[in-house]
Chain A
């Protein structure tokens, strides 16, 4: 095959690769539906299995907050959770809920959790 054709194929494949990565990194607008306030404590639920859902959450700042990590037969990287800002690392139980106290978050403070290898992540925006 000529160099031109191979060059075009290469270019097409590079575009495909970029699309896969850019698409995977879109976080959307963020959702508030996964947080509830019960007895003055805010619970934010994140599902951990083959990645974290929702990728981006919005929650209230200024009240005591706990993170609820839900797993359901998860053995992949998302079960090994790493939160750098809290100095937290734990391998979640394969099935169940892990509740993590994250104190009283300040508005605008970024909050990111990721899996130990770093390819899955989620973020919470406090407003």
Chain B
């Protein structure tokens, strides 16, 4: 019996320990497997005559797919990560500064006259997608896309489902508004609470992406973690998310909903909302597919951290605005 110690990375949570120990426990030649999350090491005993590198290959082939990497030497990722955050911080804040300058510039406030046709609602969608609505909808899309890419889930399929569901939901709900007429008003308090939930998700994911809490990770309870893990893999998750963007707080979306209300028929309401969401699509699609391609490039660590900073900034902005609109705090700013 000989005792070995190897380094393992990617074990973010209490359930990772259980998973690794379970999977490797199926190997007959291994005894007394123990993962230490804090030190990021795995200890085990074996009578087998395999060399360390052979064992390493077995481990990696079993568990690389789950995002765990085994190595002889401790990865010098930590020092590297520190310099990356110093580059990501100014980059992320720069993006935020540019975004808010764009909002203040008034470029986005041109008026649109006359009746709203599908063409004008497409243009309004284009404007909305770079307006303050981007803070919530775009921030959410960005943070979830980056998370999905980071977890190496089949991202393209998820993104296509999300965007397709968004387009169809907008058309369908727009049509419903067209039939109902003024019978249905979307309640501001409801959308604001949704917005606050979205902003909390964004801040949480943003902090996770920057890796600030990496050293003293808050480990989720196993059951909760497994739940998230399952939800993330389900086909209906991106579909439901796409649907729910209809209700997220966005002044433009709300105006268009009223236009759809007044349009008088299913077809015209559906066309208006469909054209609007089509207009918002280029920017949102860029955010999700752009994230995926960045996440698979060599700049991935810098991209994750920069995206994290931007998402935290957006999340805080949305959170404070949401509290102000609920009347919990006095408005702090006027952007």
Residue in contact with A20 in the complex, picked from B104, B108, B325, CB distance below 8 Å: B104
* Contact residues in A for B326 (Cβ distance below 8 Å): 118
Bound complex: CA of A121 vs CA of B254, how far in Å? 17
B 98-157 contacts with A by CB, 8 A: 100-101, 104, 106, 108-113, 116, 124, 127-128, 131-133, 136
Residue in contact with B109 in the complex, picked from A3, A14, A76, A118, CB distance below 8 Å: A76
Bound complex: CA of A73 vs CA of B124, how far in Å? 11
Q: From DSSP, what is the main secondary structure of chain A's interface residues?
A: mixed
A78 shortest CB reach to chain B, Å? 7
Please state if B334 and A91 are interface contacts (CB–CB under 8 Å).
no
Residue in contact with A50 in the complex, picked from B109, B321, B331, CB distance below 8 Å: B109
- Among A4-12, A29-37, A59-67, A101-109, the one that faces the other chain is A4-12
Q: Count residues on chain B whose CB falls below 8 Å from chain A CBs.
A: 58
Please state if A82 and B325 are interface contacts (CB–CB under 8 Å).
yes
Please state if B113 and A95 are interface contacts (CB–CB under 8 Å).
yes
A77 shortest CB reach to chain B, Å? 3
Please state if A25 and B334 are interface contacts (CB–CB under 8 Å).
yes
Please state if B93 and A17 are interface contacts (CB–CB under 8 Å).
yes
Please state if B333 and A72 are interface contacts (CB–CB under 8 Å).
no
* Contact residues in B for A74 (Cβ distance below 8 Å): 111, 255
A17-B100, A50-B108 known; A80 and B324 CB under 8 Å? no
* Contact residues in B for A80 (Cβ distance below 8 Å): 188, 251, 254-255
A11 shortest CB reach to chain B, Å? 9
A 86-101 contacts with B by CB, 8 A: 89, 91, 94-95
A3-B83, A91-B254 known; A117 and B321 CB under 8 Å? yes
Residue in contact with B321 in the complex, picked from A1, A3, A76, A119, CB distance below 8 Å: A119
Please state if B90 and A116 are interface contacts (CB–CB under 8 Å).
no
Please state if A14 and B252 are interface contacts (CB–CB under 8 Å).
no
Residue in contact with A75 in the complex, picked from B93, B112, B317, CB distance below 8 Å: B112
* Contact residues in B for A50 (Cβ distance below 8 Å): 106, 108-109
Please state if B93 and A20 are interface contacts (CB–CB under 8 Å).
no
Please state if A119 and B111 are interface contacts (CB–CB under 8 Å).
no
Bound complex: CA of A83 vs CA of B37, how far in Å? 51
Please tell me if A24 contacts chain B, counting CB pairs below 8 Å.
yes
A77-B132, A118-B321, A121-B334 known; A1 and B87 CB under 8 Å? yes
Please tell me if B173 contacts chain A, counting CB pairs below 8 Å.
no
Please tell me if B96 contacts chain A, counting CB pairs below 8 Å.
yes
Please state if B113 and A75 are interface contacts (CB–CB under 8 Å).
no
Please state if B87 and A6 are interface contacts (CB–CB under 8 Å).
yes
B204 shortest CB reach to chain A, Å? 20
B100 shortest CB reach to chain A, Å? 5
Please state if A24 and B333 are interface contacts (CB–CB under 8 Å).
yes
Most B C-beta atoms less than 10 A away, residue of A14, A16, A50, A112: A50
Bound complex: CA of A91 vs CA of B185, how far in Å? 9
Bound complex: CA of A100 vs CA of B110, how far in Å? 25
A57 shortest CB reach to chain B, Å? 14
B17 shortest CB reach to chain A, Å? 34
Please state if B321 and A75 are interface contacts (CB–CB under 8 Å).
no
Bound complex: CA of A114 vs CA of B106, how far in Å? 18
Please state if A20 and B100 are interface contacts (CB–CB under 8 Å).
yes
Residue in contact with B332 in the complex, picked from A10, A25, A73, CB distance below 8 Å: A25
Please state if B93 and A79 are interface contacts (CB–CB under 8 Å).
no
**A-B pairs, 6 with minimum CB distance:** A73-B111, A77-B251, A50-B109, A118-B325, A118-B321, A118-B324
What are 12 pairs between A and B in contact, CB < 8 Å?
A1-B87, A6-B87, A6-B90, A25-B334, A50-B108, A76-B131, A76-B132, A76-B255, A95-B113, A116-B192, A118-B324, A119-B321
Which B residues are closer than 8 A to A by beta carbons? Answer: 83, 86-87, 89-90, 93-94, 96-97, 100-101, 104, 106, 108-113, 116, 124, 127-128, 131-133, 136, 187-188, 191-192, 195, 249-252, 254-259, 317-318, 320-327, 330-335
In addition to A7-B86, A118-B322, 7 A-B residue pairs with Cβ atoms within 8 Å of each other are A79-B255, A91-B254, A91-B257, A115-B325, A119-B324, A120-B335, A121-B334
Which A residues are closer than 8 A to B by beta carbons? Answer: 1, 3, 6-7, 9-10, 13-14, 16-17, 20-21, 24-25, 27, 49-51, 55, 72-80, 82, 84, 89, 91, 94-95, 112, 114-121
